Structure 1
């Protein structure tokens, strides 16, 4: 069987790592079902070997339609892998983030991936295929204001471990990819949401968290600007989906590799101090960095 005889499904493929991974897999000869949320996004990603499919992973009807598309593939191609990549970032201190925002972040970054995986597992059982879950460095280390995002990614990591152990006896592999800094649009969207939250703070809330939130904006901007291009991340994700003997986890970028190792060996208090030191230079001048300590 050649790669052109196999399908790969990717969610969140309209921009960033998802789009880069779709292009890389198509270049390698796979037929990519590129999940996008809007028709305008479909037109932007459509290319040779890339077939856009409308997929909002929080919409059960979209998920069912994609599962039917895979099962009724006109060429009878098996599903080689599903790459659960869709995601959003909403940053705010735990005290300030509304419960609606908490639930929405988990719906997109966790429950949606579970739903997609459940829907396509019959096809993966038939093909001895693979589940690739795109986690984050935030699935190992949670910075201030990343409680909801990190919480969903920690949950994705745990689910992936359980799923890997459940499916191993049946020939289906499960892989986690943990990116660090990558130059994508998602960080910009997250910063815009954080700025909106910052603008709506009460004086007391601004006194507690204003400096921290501005520091996070600065830190995230610098972290993304110094990160890898999406194309480099796409190559790692494509390898995770297709190599014959994948590792259980892949990191993307030196920052992710270092921090994930440190999180395993350092005591919590020491890790707290290291993260605070990394964040401190980003606080506004004259603003004490007490929120980072």
Structure 2
């Protein structure tokens, strides 16, 4: 990049968001690093300082479930930096459970953070991206393409985000805004730890679904034990920010590409369901 540009990134206190903020700063971007609790910015600022880009990181409060707060933060950031050249929707929250046992509250909560939060940030930032002919990058998940056991609420929200962004892409392109979704698989980050799952309690509360839930959790633990790093996943986000012609859909690893590719080629759904049956202890 020959001139500094500004990117606003949500959910930067840890994990992929933190790594993306540092990676974008190292690539020459000024980064508006937003988080729900700016008191947790210490790790981000330390990481940025360690690689000499602390001056490019500007921490701002932003709760993606607060529409008025989103508008205020976006307006303040755009005024301070002379506009926005890119936005990365990264903030998200996981939820594990099944609808019969968990009820509706986790579904609504997952949609508020993972879907409506993305829509609100997108709505608030599009005028600035239209002005700069910028780009909108949204971190979804392989769970936004492949529905996975005991992730009904999370996958529903991520599916919704993917549908929203796929529909928006052609419209945004008419005003010069490029839209992309980035799909990580298993990533070793605080996203998983932050769910603070009490596994024995979850399994006990799952009733008839307990054995299947335990099988899924055992498999998930193995998967995250071999996960890619947050820095590796974030590198894909930075690549999309830098690309002259960014694709709409991009995965962060070979495993994620294979997993998503299998679903997109699975016209009747039987191949995916055969894999998911194994995940819950089936044949």
Normalising by structure 2, report the TM-score: 0.91
State the alpha-carbon separation in 1 of the partners of residues 198 and 109 from structure 2: 13
Task: Please name the residue that 1:41 is paired with.
Answer: 40
* Structural mapping, 1:207-286, within 5 Å: 208-266=208-266, 267-277=268-278, 279=279
Contact 1:227–1:253 under 8 Å retained in 2: no
**Equivalence for 1:85:** 90
Contact 1:85 1:134 in 2 (8 A): yes
Residue 60 of structure 2: SS of its match in structure 1? strand
CA gap of 1:190–1:216, structure 2 versus 1, over 3 A, is farther
User: Any conservation in 1 of the 2:149–2:276 contact (CA below 8 Å)?
Assistant: no
Shift of 1:188: 2.4
Q: Could you tell which deviates more after superposition, 21-30 or 189-198?
A: 189-198
Q: 1:148 aligns with which of 142, 147, 153?
A: 153
Whole-Å separation in 2 of the counterparts to 1:193 and 1:237: 32
Contact 1:38 1:54 in 2 (8 A): yes
Alpha-carbon shift at residue 108 of structure 1 (Å): 0.3
Q: CA deviation at 1:2?
A: 3.3
Q: Distance in 1 between matches of 2:245 and 2:200?
A: 43
Distance in 1, matches of 2:142 and 2:198, equals 20
Stretches of structure 2 that go unaligned for 5 or more consecutive residues are: 46-53
Alpha-carbon contact 1:198-1:210 (below 8 Å) kept:
yes
Q: CA offset at residue 195 of structure 1?
A: 5.3
* 1:1-293 pair list within 5 angstroms: 2-4=2-4, 6-46=5-45, 47-73=54-80, 75-76=81-82, 78-190=83-195, 192=197, 196-199=201-204, 201=205, 205-206=206-207, 208-266=208-266, 267-277=268-278, 279=279, 289=281, 292=282
The alpha carbon displacement at 1:152 in A equals 0.4
SS for the counterpart of 1:190 is coil
Length, aligned pairs only:
274
TM-score w.r.t. the length of structure 1 is 0.88
In the alignment, the residues of structure 2 paired with residue 34 and residue 147 of structure 1 have an alpha-carbon distance, to the nearest angstrom, of 30
Render the CA deviation track for 1:132-168: whole Å, top value 9, x for unaligned: 0111000111111111111001000000011101111
Residue 196 of structure 1: how far off its partner (Å): 4.7
Q: Aligned partners of 1:253, 1:160: CA distance in 2, in Å?
A: 21
Deviation at 1:238, TM superposition (A): 0.8
Q: Is the 8 A contact 1:45 1:52 kept in 2?
A: no
- Give the direction of change, closer, same or farther, for the CA distance of 1:56–1:91 in structure 2 (3 Å limit): same
Unmatched segments (≥5 aa) in structure 1: 281-288
How far apart are the structure 1 equivalents of 2:171 and 2:218? 41
1:98-137 deviations in whole A, cap 9, x for unaligned? 2111101000000001001100111101100111011100
The Cα shift of 1:61 comes to 3.1
CA 1:195–1:22: 2 relative to 1, 3 Å: farther
